[in-house]
Structure 1
């Protein structure tokens, strides 16, 4: 009953208290009191009012609003509304709002649209001001437009909070790069849009080599700092060409729209590898890591996100398995490298347990008289099913598992034992990986190998790379002192490929520097600086009282070049490839420790025997032939008769790879061709075209149907010769 009486009193306009006076209701015609209400509303800061004229100029704004913006009223009034406010382009919400200018021009109603105050020098404290505005167009009875009338409220605090939340949702809190969620959305939307437009998009996947060792030796805070430095380096390399994201851990991803030139992508990948591999200064310590890169290009390697990501991952695994510090393009023949890696690790454990690993020895020769002074021990693994497996493949697998220390200890013991059968004037060099160097048992392992074999310590040479300097400086110095106390020799391998070599030479007690073979490969080319670099390294070694070995010498022109630079010791195929202990002992049995150099007169760019079927297109005909040799600039092809010198052809290397070329030499069914555009490295030791024909174009061509063809001018024949008698241009 009480509720009923209360409801009745309200509905009749009575008050709950009989003693109170009647409500002073504001009538519609009471303009004075209505204005007072509006003034109270504006003064309270709950919201503000604004109005524009028919030309879109601001003709009214609440005084409190001007105060909030820290602007004098005359700086706002009569200004175009769109010059003062603009739709925020960084709206953190999911709703996509049309620009404010469009809404006003279309004379649409505006409801809670977020805008940003755009006048220069908006607020003295430099902060941005965001408003939520609503408004409606005003028309008179004749339908004439008189501008907008609206309301507004300041949402800056809420909006900035949304921006922070949005950034946390889409950006990595450690590095500031895009996170996995944002990269997934970006890639998916880009691929969808580019599929319709028939455009290309490249995805690069990369992770850091030896990053776990940084965490283990320097601690997780150091690892976090390293990731931040890696992020900054990637931003410098990639620039505005694409978006970089950190997916988690040490995994990074780069999206590069409208780039499909595999030459440029290979150059970018190499630059990323080089820049990321430079040493990092973390507090008072130094860390050295590397990176591997996998590349997939849409639409050639997939058109949707799942396919492109999967194929870039396969390319990354292939790069890691190829020896780290490398890049790979995806190709259809890549296997599931994760499964392959697991199988190889299992096989490697079996090989170690069953004594199936071997050491082969390559001689190091004194340049002045070709006398053998040392042998480098090189590990070999002949898999019972897969055949020989390169150390570049299985050593990284051993480093990621607990096998590297066992394999390293085996190699040291085996090499020292074998060297005891050699003349005492000949040393043995054994490679020590960074992971093995950092292990606490290294000194004990080296001492044990010397003691058990009886080898004199000065006959053992440990070859180290710059990666051993990663970690705590004091610990590294202690290891060096302990090794030198044992009496062994130390050599810095692959010198010149790192970035802080001079500081290493100053602080570490090396007896020898080994010049990397990459400089030797091009030391006879006039347009390269390799010869000057080799000469500088040799001069530096002599100044520091160290020996120098130049490795990778294969031809007489290289031999003459490095001898002319006063290289004291040389290693390479021109003297001998690595050989078994039995072969070494056979050579030594004669008592002559000199090796006469034997090899080609001059070093030439590597040419690969490929023996693969390809298509040859001439006019409107397609022929099948066998490609026997391939270089960056030409190929040798077998199986086509009647082709005149100077004929223009197009080679179909499959996978959308078409190469325009010219016939330079002919011998029966064998033709040599020179490419119009040189091929580029595929990152796996092979070659590929810079560009490919889009699958969209190929599909369109297939739909054209068969057109009338002219009479073929050449004759296909079966390839009979397994060897090429012709040459083709460098």
Structure 2
């Protein structure tokens, strides 16, 4: 072999240097491209994680607001709330009876409960205690909340948002207080019920865990950590923050140091190799070794790049031009459970399927347009369960010819399920799972569409005796009852029907093709019978009833709101008829109800305007000349109809909860006037059974005695046996407490009840009153006189005063005198008179009487 000349060596060294420079440049390009791809992938992973976490955070807070709005509506769209809070605030009903009281703080966590109107706060409860501070003391946003709530009131919806409450971030929900249905001629309700829940750790931590996020907390907007996820809470000056996983950053922190070290080592090796090659390059063998080293370095770089791809949370796929899979990353096996080898060389269309487009046509469309796209597909994992994924793909070309496709696949099954859950909750009641008001209106609107609207029957149900279950056993027991009622209603309806819950204890059944009235009667009877069966709730067997109002679209067509209003009117009639029954809506029923509601409104306003007056009917000793006591009888000086007797408005007051307000007024006014009488005689006041059961009569009577100064022994309460029928044990405790105040108790209408004698032995009565039906038959019926004599003898034997009412003839008075009755009362002796006439009567019949000293 000829020796190599210096020129040859120089030329060869120059070639080697050029090759080294080119190879080094190519290697650097590969490393830079790899690092660029790595950072793009890492950034994409971080951005995707950030977007997903923000989506879950927004969904969690949106669901929280939706649940809060639904809950405040159950308290705002409520007839009793409208009666007690809509025009004036009844603190006893709201706070003392705990209808909108401490339980909302202790059990439900609301730090603030307010009733607002244009004049400010009418009712305020903060941290479970009544507060005199106005809403403006805690937040300046009262006007905004009022405006928002009234804008959505017509749709019977609530509003919500964030604000600062007492300097801390909080969530408010607000709704206009209104009845389930509001007559069009009445002014729109204005009072707004506001619930406030503080955004603290106890609320946010479980909410974050449910959304799959950690570190859920609230931070000042200016101090929010940029490394965390953030969601501004508009109106509160704060931001919701949470910890964000950063898989891309973790990937970079793991891979980049290794790549950097590898690059340094490769650089050192290349330097050493270059020097060695220049010194010893005498033939093509060294060139081959250098080429082999370059190839090995390139393969190493490609392997590292592939390792980066495998670390991604998605799985990567590639196909040839015929859509046969040529590559599947290791993540494919981890996410799907399938072995990658089992799917290689098989069409991707066998693995993935799309409901909305053919995968094959979609991929070829990408190739034709040289575009990148994404598509939602389904596949089945190794257990046969369907999973949902989003694939991103693009075509790969060689000299303008499509050689195949490559892309990624992201599993979005949980994301789709979460979205479906949100959609479900927007149309269903969270407690019972029944459709809510939104789905009900959609169903009714669909039934009314078409050339011939479908005939339906809308049945509004209201549970009887449900509130005592909540009060005595607690809300968990009440929830168990509602869930069981929903289940039973589902059993007795068809698939084509709809059962919905409006809120509280109100349900609606919509029957398609209801049939004739006789068919409806059978169905309503089946509903009543089913719901009257005992229900096991929290270990207790309880019983509820149901009243039904029925509206038939074939007889009275209208909008969904009209049909619900018709059914509500019919339900009101069913409750008035004695409950546990049903009534059909009719136009006459609507007119009667409107007339009754107008009279109810006028009575409510009349009590506040002092339109009530008391008349007094004296009770005489049996001699017929000496006034022994006086019975107070209420009258209503109606501005249009004149002086109305109790039979025109007492029953109405008992139905609408006005009886408590009216009864307290009667007791207070009777005591005040009796205190000023010239004769220190007793005043007798009738107690309604409804007043007895709905209020704390012991407290009310004690307050009236304290405010007026009337001695307790001068007040007598007349009680009918209906009080004992409703609650035997409770009535006994209440009457014993009244006796401890020092008042007297009179059993009214004695002899008309089947168990009056037993009541006399059990309850602490001081006197009894013989019903006027027996008295008016004296002298005509020997049997009725025998009854009167027996009652008088019974009273004497038990040490009770006996009063005969309804004495209208001298013969009746003489017979009662012969039978030694203690007191008499009736038109023969005196009709009811006003207070001034009563005072004149006292002075005339008892001229020697002195002014009382008590």
Bucket of the pairwise TM-score, normalised by the shorter protein: 0.3 to 0.5
Q: TM-score of the superposition, structure 2-length normalised? A: 0.36
Higher RCO (C-alpha 8 Å, min separation 6)? 1
| Structure of higher CA gyration radius | 2
Q: Return the structure number with greater helix share.
A: 2
